[in-house]
A and B are shown apart, each in its own frame.
Chain A
């Protein structure tokens, strides 16, 4: 097993797959692999594809990968679907929309369950992206869980965020609200063969014109993922965004911000795990009883937990 990392760097897909599992699970072995391969990451163009459930994220991701294959690029895809909040089980079904790519040796599709993470991604998504990146895929797509209004984590994980919209799913006030629409680097109106597509495009355009542009216009593209219409232009728009990141200095800013976020969130997880490890189950149960019975407020209880864990 020690040569797994060598096989990884030799380009063996089975080694990639096994390392992905260990890194996703956050095992000590996985962390050791991540440490060894991390210096080789940072080269891929990471592209987030987000939008509501059924908006066509998987089909569009598949169509984008097919177009990039035509242009001679290899593509890694990470597709996240939700875990059950009750059983932690999951049905991961995004591959169904990517059947044409399954036997293409230049494409690697990995499904991930959200495992309780909020924000449309999974707890170890950044680590998993780094593995795909280090393997050498020039493009790594990250497809989020069906996202509504507030799942904005993807903008930190990916360099370019593509927000997929559909005609007939709400008026322009929906688009005016804060949240997910603000993180889009590229806006897509998918299922553009359906009625109302032109209206949506002009609504989105009008909306964007209300906001001061930061030296870059957010492009709006129309696609029909199932036929491939508009997909080539979308790839161009994604590439143009990457060029803009490079030229404007935004790339460095993004990387700094993301590194900061990752360090702090891992630190948070380590601290939480330490508190859990140091706290006997009885003292936690005791606090739970007190808070549930309104004898104690949650903040005071949490402070006591941290103090007892010897962390302050």
Chain B
């Protein structure tokens, strides 16, 4: 691969998929979130990475200001059923009900249904191939 100004010019007119990767709650292990952010970057997305210990309000507000197409949440603490509904609520109250949601981390199989009902389109557990996540984003993000 070579860096060429030609492809950059094409990128300039093209509309990039913007993804927010956030870590809600108190666990500080962000390696997974960083790997996903990096994979999406390599897949050509613009990834806004907010860092650890984000409250639901902070995540929703960042999603609003950055006008993202997709929000990906990484969680290892087990508090997803506590935190995720509040994030969805904060997003909705800001009019961001059309954002694609996905999550990853330590999430038991039995919680899948609840998360899908909340609006999560995909759950990526340990061992997921990052390419699968990139494909998910491209298949689901609506480029306007």
A, B bound: yes
Q: Which residues of A contact B (CB under 8 A)?
A: 13-14, 17-18, 20-21, 25-27, 83-93, 95-96, 99, 102-103, 108-111, 113, 115-117, 123, 272-273, 276
Binds A, one of B62-70, B79-87, B111-119, B125-133: B62-70
Residue-wise, chain B 74-94 has the 8 Å CB interface mask toward A (1 for contact) of: 000000000000000000001
Q: Which residues of B contact A (CB under 8 A)?
A: 1, 3-5, 7-9, 11-16, 18, 37-38, 40-51, 57-58, 61-62, 64-67, 94-96
In the complex, the answer to whether A83 meets B11 with C-beta atoms within 8 Å is: yes
A13 to B94, CA, bound (A): 9
A117 to B11, CA, bound (A): 11
In the complex, the answer to whether B49 meets A88 with C-beta atoms within 8 Å is: no
In the complex, the answer to whether A91 meets B94 with C-beta atoms within 8 Å is: no
* Neighbour of A95 across the interface among B15, B42, B50, CB < 8 A: B50
A111 to B47, CA, bound (A): 10
**Residue of B5, B40, B50 most packed against chain A (CB within 10 A):** B50
| Main SS at interface, chain A | mixed
Query: A99-B58, A102-B61, A116-B11 known; A89 and B41 CB under 8 Å?
Result: yes
Which residues on the B side are within 8 Å of A14 (C-beta)? 64, 94-96
A89 to B67, CA, bound (A): 16
The 16 sampled A-B contact pairs (Cβ below 8 Å) are A14-B95, A18-B67, A21-B67, A83-B8, A85-B8, A89-B42, A89-B43, A91-B37, A92-B66, A95-B48, A95-B50, A111-B48, A111-B66, A115-B12, A116-B8, A276-B9
